[in-house]
Structure formats: C-alpha cells, structure tokens
Structure 1
C-alpha cells in the first residue's frame, strides 16, 4: 500500500481485507525509522504497543463484518505532544515535564481510539505550543520535508512533518492561534480549525481559543474525522450545535452561489509575501469560475487590531496554566516571561481582557451574519521561514520570539478568538518550491461551507500528487 494513500481509503481497504492493520503499522514504523532521524517529527515511540494493537485489530477484522468495524479501524495516527494518551508520557515540549506515563487519555484521544485509530507515537510541539515553529530545548528542531532548512510551522509541526513525508497517513493536531492551519500551509496539507467547542477539549483552556483536529492530505479525510471527534460532549460546559447530517456527506454537496469576501491585507500592517498573494489570486479565479460572487473586504475596518492583539495577549499569557510540570525552573525563557506576565495580572484585569475579546469578536463576526458567507485570506503572510529564525533577538528579549511569529499567525489567530471555523488548503507552490496555503473562514458553525468549497477546489486545483523532497 502506498504510504501517501488517504486515511479514508486505507480504512476502506482494511474493511475489504486488502491490507492488514499490521502491514500498515509496519509500513509507517519503517518510514519513521528511515526519515525521522532527519525530520525529527516524533518525540516518543512505542513500537511494541503499536504492533500489538495492530495485531489485535487484524484479528478483529477476521471476526467481524466490515459494517461492524469502527470507521478508521486499524489506521495509524500520531498524537500531538500536548495531549495525553494513557500509558504514554506527555512532555508538552518541555524539559520540566514528568517522565511518568499518563493514567488517562484526553477526550479527543479517546475518540480517536473509539474510531479505530491506532496511536502511532507522539509528535513534536514547541514548548506548550506557544510559537509557530516546532523547536524546543527538550526535543530539538523539527524540519519541513519540502526543504529541511525550513520550518514545518507550529505548533503542530511534528504532525505536519509526519504526514507530509509519508510517516503517517493522518495526524492529530491542535490549534490555539493557527497551529493546525499554519503547519498545513507550510507542509502542503489540509488543516481545519473547527468552531469553538465543536471538538471537546475536556477543559476550556485559554477561553476556548484552542481546539483539536487533524492535518490530512484530503478534504474527505478531514470531514470524516470531524464526524468521529466532533460530537457533543455531555460532560462539557458548552458544545457547538451538532450538524443535521454527517460532514462526510454534506462535504460532497454543492455550495452556492456564495457571497465570498477576500483580503490579502493583514489586520496589523506588515508586508505579505508575493507567493501568499498569488495563492489567494489563484483561489479567487477558481471561485469566480464556479459562479460565486467575490468582493474585497478590509479587515482593518472591522476592529481595532491593536486592541484585539492586546486582548489576545491577556489570555495567551496564561497558556501555561494547568500544565502539569514537575520543574517550572526548567521551562524556556519565552514561556517563563509569558508565565511571569500572566501571574502579575490581577483577576479583575484578566476578566476585563476576556470581556474585551468577546466585544471585539462581535465586530469581526458581524459581516458573517449579514450576508457574507466565506472570507478568503492567505493562511500566512510569509512563506515557511527558515528553522531557527524564530529565536532572532530572543537572547536580548525572550518576547522577540512571539513577535517573530506574527507574520505566520496574523491571518489565523483572530478566528481562534471569534470561534469561527477556518480551513487552510494547499493551493499553491512558491518559486522556492515551498507549499503556500489559502485560508477560508465561514460564519458561526458553518464547517459545511468550508468542506464543500474545499472539495470542489481540491478537484479544480488538485494537490494529491505533489510530493516533498523527503518523500522517498
């Protein structure tokens, strides 16, 4: 079986008994042996457990009918090192983490397992998922399979590097400010940040800005996985309204004609690489050819971007709250600075900051309630930067690393605050041979529109046959 086969196709092949879960586990573990020493996508492996679970899955195939098997029965899927899988350690990308194995799995990990996935190790994240590069003192530098001098993005860079290089067919990822969409853009993958609380988190960390999902090769894979992990959680404080029908079905339906807004101007003034503008132009021409109405939108008129960034920072500074470290003195300088700022903020000021994010969000979301169906932007304002460049100036001021990430997250983080669904599609390749993503944002709870547009754009501007340099 070809390692770049989409997960839904692999699952169908398992049900037809054309390929065994053991064969798939051995295929991807072998590619990890070959490619990961250079890419450094994984921070933890447990090959014995993976193979044991694959053998159990293979035996179950012989005992059950195809209809009785879980939708992704026997398909390998890595877990990001910011979530817990029972029996494995989670380091949160930090030297201060406990080496002890987890005693429970997070809700989203439980749902992956219930859907039939076999966890395939843990993928690298920067410490606490704070920056848009996947580099940490604990686990080193994760590299982009398209050009190993460049970052795969972050914080789900390990996941994206693994899928893009064919070390996994699909991978768990999470997104608190762009951390699914940015790596998807950097590595030529599909990345959906679902609506707030579409995918249960267990705890609404950073005010629900963050959510789990996957990086995948196809829109169909993303839709099918959303069906299995995006179900309401009866124990959660809040759940996004469930869809009337499965996402995998509605994603195949025609969308439109739609009123689509487009902008290549970031909310905060900064240059945008020509390749990122070209990617949006490519998408716009395709959408117009499909009969959709496209118009320019100016994000800078919707909200005071500086106040928005300030309010976002109030919440972001508390990102380390609840992380179960055993040695806080071992954390990296950037997160030490953010944690210090968070601890110095009094509770009244924090609540005021959260309230401001909600008030400003209403201004940004308003156009989606008065006729705008979808907004199209670059996923990032830059092509994938070089590894290590995130730390420029950080020896003088640790916070420089955050500012160095702004061009990568300027188009993405606003949708974490508002809770709107956003999808990055790999529609373009730069002159340097690096993937360039385009972001599509829909109104409240309208993942269906994004998946429908993604499906037709995948047909119009196909990317399935593209392979990175590290694909061999």
Structure 2
C-alpha cells in the first residue's frame, strides 16, 4: 500500500482483499513511530485499541458480510472533539484527561462508515488560534518545513495527513481552521455549509463546523457524504444534495462566473505568494472554460466582525468547563474575562447584526458571480512560536499575522457558506500556499466539481514533503 493513497482507494483495496485492515493500520502506526517525533501531530495514541479494531475489521472482510464504505481505514480525531472512552483535554493544561462518556455526532458517523479511530491530533488550546501550539502538548510543525507552522486550529490533523501518518483526518473549522492548515500543508480543506454536518451544539453562534482534511478531492467528497447524514433531533440541517457528493467528482460544472478577489477584506497586506496562488488557480479555471474577472464584494462591517471576535468567541469559551482555569493560556484567560465584562444586550445586538449583514453578503452569489476565488490566507505559513507569542502579548488587540491568516476565511463561517482550499502554489523555498473557492449557499457540489477538475491539472496528490516519502 501507498500511505499517500486516498482513503477511498484504500477502502476499495480492503474490500477486494488486496490489503488487510491490520496491514493498513500497522503501516500508519509505523509511520507515526518513525516520523511524529519531528512534527508532533499526535497528542494521544490508542495503538492497542485500533489494532484490535483492525483485526475485527479483517475478520469481517473474510466472512464476506456487507461492509460499510470506509471499512478498515484508520482516521485520527482532532483534539477538540469527544469520543466515548477517550480523553478530551481541548489542548489545555487546565482540563483533566478524564475519559469522555459521549461521542460527537460527526465522529459517530465516521465510526458507522467503517473508519477505525486512530489517536488524537494536536490543536491550540480551545481552538481560537490560527496555529497549533499549546502549553500542554507543545508545538506542531509543518512537514514541508519544520521551522514553519502547519496552521490551526486543525494543524495536527493537517500535519498528520501531509506526512503520510494517516490517509485523511477529522477536523473542524470555526474561522478557517480546516482551510488554513490545508493551505499551509499542501492539502485539500473543505469547509461544509452551515448545518451540513450535525453537531449537538453548533459552536460559535453556528459558525463552526466539523469536517475533514484530505489530500484527494474524492476523499473530501466521500467524507462529506458520510459526515453529513442529517440529525433529525437537531434544530435544523442543510438541504439534501441533488446526488451524493462523491458523484460530483469529475462531473461537468458548466461555464461559471468566478469572481477573483486578491485584496484582503480586513485591509491588511497580502503576500505576493498568496496573490500568486489565487491568480494561478484563476488561470487554470479560465483554461477550463470559466469566466474569471476581478470583483470587490461587500463583506462584514467592522462592528459585525468585532461582535464575532469580541463577544461570540469569548462567550463560547465558557462552554468548556476548566478544571483549573488559572492554567489556561494568558490570551484565553483574557478572553474569558472579556466575556464576563459584556452584557446580554450587546451579545444579542451583535448576533442580530451578523444575521442582517449576512443576507446582503450572501445575495452576491448568483447575482454578481457564481463562485468567489481568493487566496486562502494573506500570508505564507508563519514561523513556529511567533503567533502564540503575539497573541499572549496582545490578546484583545490587533495582531497582524493572525489577522492575515484569517482575513479570507472567517467570513465564510459567519455567513455559513461552503468553501474549499486547494494546494495550488509553492513559495520559492517550497512552502505550500493555497487558494480558496467560496460557493453559493449549500452548494458544496459546485466546489467539488471545480476542485476535481483542477486536481489532475495541478497534480498535487503526488507532490509530497521530501523527508516523509
């Protein structure tokens, strides 16, 4: 087996008895043993449990029973998601490793589809940061350049996939946390629409979503199919797609109007390499027959953006109970204190403003353009250590690097629009740089069709970090 193969192809090989689930699992565990000390993607391992599950999966294959779609394929869980029988410390020194009693809905769907849960990946404490560093587990590094961050908050997930320690990884995105790591690590990062992937409590005022980080577009589509099975007990769920998302891979998109935006909605400078990523993807899409033209869309006002950053995110940090809150990162202590200094009327006013402005922003899709194309980030992957230091030094003020990292991503969370980061460019030093496509409401299908058309042209699935081949 090739550890960089798609999860879809691995699952097919398992079902056809070309390779056993035990062999697949053992190969990834060997790679974790060999390589993870240099990148620190995994913070908790369950080798014995996953090997037992692999042996059970092997027995099922040999008994010729009907198998679920991803039977026998291992997948790691992000360190912000809960699994019954596993610890979930949220990357914090202030939360105990007591075993959880409930499994998140998206993880249940992964298990039901046949995935074998293989360890837990690193994340910044509680998630509200664009790099993957914390006091408890330390720094996660980028497999393409160990001096650089893999991004956050799903940085451990992205580092694991980029280094071939797992075929795909479960992840989540509240302001860019799937797309920023995918951009930084040369991977595909699809953020689903609001309500597509069920959650018991939608985080950050319904801006956060679970999802996955993959190398192959077919995996992004197939995982979305299984993770988006509706939760009929929830308040709402996204409209059903016309057909399974996996059937969109390779399907013709028709001729689309694609708006190109290379200036940051936040007004911060955009690195030339990030502009180059977006313009490179624009050329490919033009060559595929689409109409690409510059646009200057309307985005959220400063007041609405600040409502999200200063009211919603700090308030959400109180949903996760600390055992020892004084052991939280300094910036988290400051944000939690900030939440307690604001009142319910301010919160309600901020949420109402986000709702109203979202309507005007979303209306541009289908009216002014069909898909929006941007850089994924306004900067290239930053050096490790710098963003956490910046955030602890100025937790409630302006921070340039972090703002550059989220400038093109967070509006898709606030509006609930689907978005995908594609690995389309490299810096002269070889660091990956992604470009982002943002689709119309609930139209992940369009993004998958576009991404699958671009993938063979740019050939990123066979472009791998040298030290991890």
Residue of structure 2 in register with 1:55 after alignment:
55
Match of residue 12 from structure 1: 12
* SS in structure 2 of the partner of residue 321 of structure 1: helix
* 1:18-50 per-position Cα deviation (integer Å, ceiling 9, x unaligned): 011100111011111111111100110011101
Q: RMSD of aligned C-alpha atoms?
A: 1.3
- Map 1:92-131 → 2, pairs under 5 A: 92-131=90-129
TM-score when scaled to structure 1?
0.97
Instruction: Report what 2:224 is aligned to.
Output: 226
Structure 1 unaligned regions, length at least 5: none
Q: Which residue of 1 aligns with 2:312?
A: 315
The aligned length equals 468
- 1:463: which partner in 2? 460
Q: Does 1:387 align with 2:384?
A: yes
Secondary structure at the counterpart of residue 414 of structure 2: helix
What is the CA–CA distance in structure 2 between the aligned matches of 1:402 and 1:271, rounded to whole Å?
Answer: 13
Report the alpha carbon displacement of residue 195 of structure 1 after superposing the two structures with TM: 0.3
- 1:202 matched to 2:171? The reply is no
Correspondence for 1:444 among 419, 441, 453: 441
Contact 2:197 2:211 in 1 (8 A): yes
Residues 19-418 of structure 1 mapped to structure 2, 5 A cutoff: 19-65=19-65, 68-299=66-297, 302-303=298-299, 305-313=301-309, 314-394=311-391, 396-399=393-396, 403-418=400-415
Deviations 1:41-84 (A, max 9, x none): 0110011101011101111111124xx10100010000001010
Distance 2:14 2:127 in 1: 34
1:24 aligned counterpart, secondary structure: helix
Corresponding residue SS for 2:317: coil
Using the alignment, how far apart are the partners of 1:401 and 1:169 within structure 2? 37
Report the secondary structure of 1:174's partner residue.
strand
How far apart, CA to CA, are the structure 2 residues paired with 1:404 and 1:285?
A: 28
Gaps of 5+ in 2: none
Q: 1:388 to 1:400 in 2, by over 3 A?
A: farther
The residue that corresponds to 1:429 in the other structure is 426
Task: Provide Cα deviations, 1:309-367, integer angstroms capped at 9, x if missing partner.
Answer: 21221212223132132121211111111111112111111011111111121221111
Structure 1 outlier segments of 4+, above 6 Å: none
**Residues 119-165 of structure 1: CA deviation (Å, up to 9, x unaligned):** 11000000001100000001100000000000000000000000000
After TM superposition, the structure 1 stretch with the greater mean CA deviation from structure 2, 394-403 or 89-98, is 394-403
Q: Secondary structure at the match of 1:201?
A: coil
CA gap 1:395/1:323 in 2 versus in 1, 3 angstroms: closer
1:429-466 alpha-carbon deviations (Å, 9 max, x no partner): 11110001000001101101100000000022111111
Confirm or deny: 8 A CA contact 1:147 1:469 kept in the other structure. no
In 2, are the aligned partners of 1:393 and 1:401 still within 8 Å (CA)?
no
Q: For 2:2 and 2:349, locate their aligned partners in 1 and report how far apart those are by CA, in whole Å.
A: 53
- TM-score, L = length of structure 2: 0.97
Q: Spell out, residue by residue over 1:81-102, the C-alpha distance to the aligned partner (whole angstroms, 9 max, x if none).
A: 1010111100101011121111
For structure 1, which segment, 372-381 or 398-407, has the greater mean C-alpha deviation from structure 2 after superposition?
Answer: 398-407
User: Could you tell me which residue of structure 1 aligns to residue 2 of structure 2?
Assistant: 2
- The answer on whether the counterparts of 2:379 and 2:401 sit within 8 Å (CA) in structure 1 is no
* Alpha-carbon distance between aligned partners in 2 of 1:101 and 1:401, rounded to the nearest angstrom: 37
Residue 393 (structure 1) shift = 4.2
Q: Contact 2:109–2:229 (CA<8 Å) still a contact in 1? A: no
Given that residues 268 and 305 in structure 1 are in contact (C-alpha distance below 8 angstroms), is that contact kept between their aligned partners in structure 2?
A: no
